[in-house]
């Protein structure tokens, strides 16, 4: 699903007979993909990956990127990103083939026949819809299609993220307006997806690449400032590193203590243009990687607090209560030498792999396991809820809600069963209710937050435990629309209120029609049962009687004219029955 469309002819199909020896560029860069794949698996399947490369190279033959390189370089680069993340053979095959259906004459049925259903589903999931057919709706409907495909197989999202990462890396070859559009779309939708999947390794690079396009001056300024301060900052923080290493040794905790530099966008969000205030602790986090189990992280935490003064209220335990994106770690803030405030993160090495690569790390473990079903769904609750109601949302509504649901600056609230519900800051009880699903939100009447009874407009704080109270007879109201802050909740309430208004209008219109036909000596119910009303409604362009009655209430359909039509149609129908 590359943003850059290849130039040149649309390539050959797999069925064109091209001798292997005639392919001068065959296997030039596929070896790096195979090496990366071999590094992640004890017995990797090289043959299927090479066969997918051969197919992709043949299909894209003659196409070039704006850089002038052969187009096959793009799917190879995307596949290398995924191979280095430890993705399985099927994902690498699909990544190599991911643009063939969209940009060449190779069709999805042909691909399915050559590579099977699993690969075809992955490729189809990231294939963009035809803009000439979908028009302005193409972007939203493409994302809807991708999200629906991800419901069956989350690897679709991983391929899309790798695809976008490579496009961002090569964005300099695009015209400025397209650079801006792609970078902005990435910030709004793709980067939040990366965070939701726990793939911080990709997220950080994508953050900085978008930053360089959307705010080039700020990007260059902060990069220069960080580069200039890095060596001095490391030197100033080394005493704290040594002290913590000694503290861990005293507690007999095996592990590694290191400084890692924060990425540019994260520092920019913290300090903005106040570069003169940059401190070493703004540049670095202190990372403790424990060689052990979960309990050893808590021992390490004790060692940290024993040798450095903890800042009250700044401890976050994502081990006992993991984040919704699979992330697990202990976070604490301490005051070290010279009153330097530092953030410390404590993880096991396994937690660290997941923290960096998220879903990809889990899929890698599944693929290495005996008899594992890699395509098996890892149930991410936020994605399930995203899909629960949005199938019938309009394109504009879908994108608005998707952006809202994926906002990165969120909080985490909990159900009474301990399930994590991600919400934006400032969210209310009604937002929480609709995050659980329309069937809860539509019937919500109140909430218990941390055991205290509150109204639906009450704010939900980070870490709160929320229980929604419902009643079968309750329904959304205009007050609920005022209380709601999330796009999803507001959209569903507006939809319900609009339907209610339509029902009210239909009832009003039906009463008007019933009174008018009664004056003509007729019963509206009889006309409806005999099909008279339905025939007239269809002739007037209304599929449903309720639509016709609502049009009468709105004055769109003239009541007197409609009654004459009903009387005439009834007479015609009665005459036909008598003839019979």
Report the catalytic residues: 102-103
User: Cα(88)–Cα(196) distance, rounded to whole angstroms?
Assistant: 21
Neighbour-count burial of 235, counting CB atoms closer than 10 A to its CB (0-12 exposed, 13-18 middle, 19+ buried): exposed
- Burial (Cβ within 10 Å: 0-12, 13-18, ≥19) of residue 578: exposed
DSSP 347-384: EEHHHHHHHHHTHHHHHHHHHHSTT--TTSPP--HHHH
Structural contact between residues 190 and 164, judged by C-beta atoms closer than 8 angstroms: yes
Give the C-alpha separation, 11 to 102, whole Å. 11
- Residue 29 buriedness (CB in 10 A; 0-12 / 13-18 / 19+): middle
Element (H, E) at 330: strand 330-336
CA distance 159 to 80: 11
Alpha-carbon gap, residue 344 to 129, rounded angstroms: 45
Q: Please, what's the largest Cα pairwise distance for the chain?
A: 106
Q: At what angle do helices 30-40 and 89-97 cross, to 10 degrees?
A: 160
Q: In what order do the strands lie in the sheet with 452-454?
A: 452-454, 444-449, 466-470
DSSP characters over 422-458: EE-TT-BHHHHHHHH-HHHHTTEEEEEETTEEE-TTP
Between strands 309-310 and 466-470, the pairing is: unpaired
Burial 256-285 (b: 16+ CB within 10 A, else e): ebebeebbbbbbbeebeeebeebebbbbbb
User: 471 pairs with which residues across the strands?
Assistant: none
Q: Cβ neighbours of residue 527 under 8 Å, at least 6 residues apart?
A: 517, 533, 566, 570
| End-to-end alpha carbon distance in the chain | 64
How many angstroms separate the CA atoms of 4 and 69, rounded?
A: 12
Query: 3-class DSSP state for residue 95?
Result: helix
C-alpha torsion angle, residues 38, 41, 46, 48 (rounded to 10): -140
Spatial distance between the Cα atoms of 442 and 480, rounded to a whole number of angstroms: 10
Distances (CA, A) of 498 to 157, 395, 477, 514: 34, 18, 11, 24
Dihedral through CA 8, CA 9, CA 10, CA 14, nearest 10?
-120
Name the residue with tokens 């909080």: 411
Rounded to an integer, what distance in angstroms lies between the CA atom of residue 424 and that of residue 488? 11
């Amino acid at each position: 699903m590359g943003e850059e469309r290849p130039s040149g002819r649309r390539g050959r199909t797999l069925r064109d007979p091209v001798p292997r020896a005639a392919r001068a560029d065959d296997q030039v860069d596929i070896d790096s993909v195979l090496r990366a794949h071999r590094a992640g698996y004890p017995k990797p399947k090289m043959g299927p990956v090479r066969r997918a490369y051969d197919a992709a190279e043949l299909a894209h033959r003659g196409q070039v990127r704006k850089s002038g390189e052969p187009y096959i370089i793009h799917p190879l680069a995307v596949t290398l990103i995924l191979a280095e993340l430890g993705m399985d053979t099927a994902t690498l095959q699909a990544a190599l083939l991911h643009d063939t259906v969209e940009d060449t004459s190779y069709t999805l049925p042909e691909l399915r026949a050559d590579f099977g259903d699993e690969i075809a589903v992955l490729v189809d999931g990231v294939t963009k819809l035809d803009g000439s057919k979908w028009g302005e709706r193409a972007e939203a409907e493409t994302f809807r299609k991708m999200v629906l495909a991800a419901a069956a197989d989350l690897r679709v999202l991983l391929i899309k993220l790798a695809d976008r990462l490579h496009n961002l890396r090569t964005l300099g070859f695009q015209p400025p307006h397209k650079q801006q559009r792609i970078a902005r779309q990435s910030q709004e939708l793709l980067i939040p997806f990366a965070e939701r999947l726990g793939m911080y390794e990709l997220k950080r690079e994508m953050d900085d690449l978008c930053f360089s396009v959307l705010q080039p001056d700020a990007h260059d300024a902060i990069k220069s400032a960080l580069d200039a301060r890095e060596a001095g900052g490391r030197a100033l923080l080394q005493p704290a590193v040594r002290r913590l290493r000694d503290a861990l040794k005293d507690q007999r905790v095996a592990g590694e203590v290191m400084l890692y530099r924060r990425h540019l966008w994260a520092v920019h969000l913290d300090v903005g243009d106040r570069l003169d205030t940059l401190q070493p602790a703004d540049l670095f986090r202190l990372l403790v990687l424990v060689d052990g189990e979960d309990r050893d992280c808590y021992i390490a935490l004790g060692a940290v607090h024993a040798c450095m003064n903890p800042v009250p209220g700044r401890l976050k335990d994502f081990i006992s209560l993991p984040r919704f994106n699979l992330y697990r770690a202990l976070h604490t803030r301490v005051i070290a030498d010279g009153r330097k405030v530092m953030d410390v993160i404590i993880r096991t090495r396994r937690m660290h792999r997941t923290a960096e690569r998220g879903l990809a790390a889990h899929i890698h473990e599944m693929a290495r396991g005996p008899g594992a079903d890699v395509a098996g769904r890892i149930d991410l609750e936020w994605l399930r809820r995203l899909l629960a109601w949005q199938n019938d949302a309009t394109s504009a509504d879908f994108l608005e809600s998707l952006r809202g649901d994926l906002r990165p600056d969120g909080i985490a609230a909990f159900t009474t069963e301990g399930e994590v519900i991600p919400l934006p800051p400032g969210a209310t009880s009604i937002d929480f209710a609709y995050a659980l699903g329309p069937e809860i939100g539509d019937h919500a009447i109140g909430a218990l937050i941390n055991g205290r009874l509150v109204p639906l407009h009450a704010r939900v704080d980070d870490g709160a435990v929320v229980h929604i109270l419902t009643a079968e007879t309750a329904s959304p109201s205009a007050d609920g629309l005022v209380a709601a802050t999330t796009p999803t909740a507001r959209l569903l309430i507006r939809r319900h209120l609009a339907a209610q208004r339509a029902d009210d209008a239909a009832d009003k219109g039906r009463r008007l029609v019933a009174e008018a036909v009664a004056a003509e000596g007729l019963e509206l119910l009889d006309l409806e049962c005999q099909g008279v009303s339905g025939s007239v409604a269809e002739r007037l362009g209304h599929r449903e009687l309720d639509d016709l009655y609502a049009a009468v209430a709105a004055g769109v359909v003239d009541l007197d004219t409609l009654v004459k039509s009903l009387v005439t149609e009834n007479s015609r129908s009665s005459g036909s029955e008598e003839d019979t």
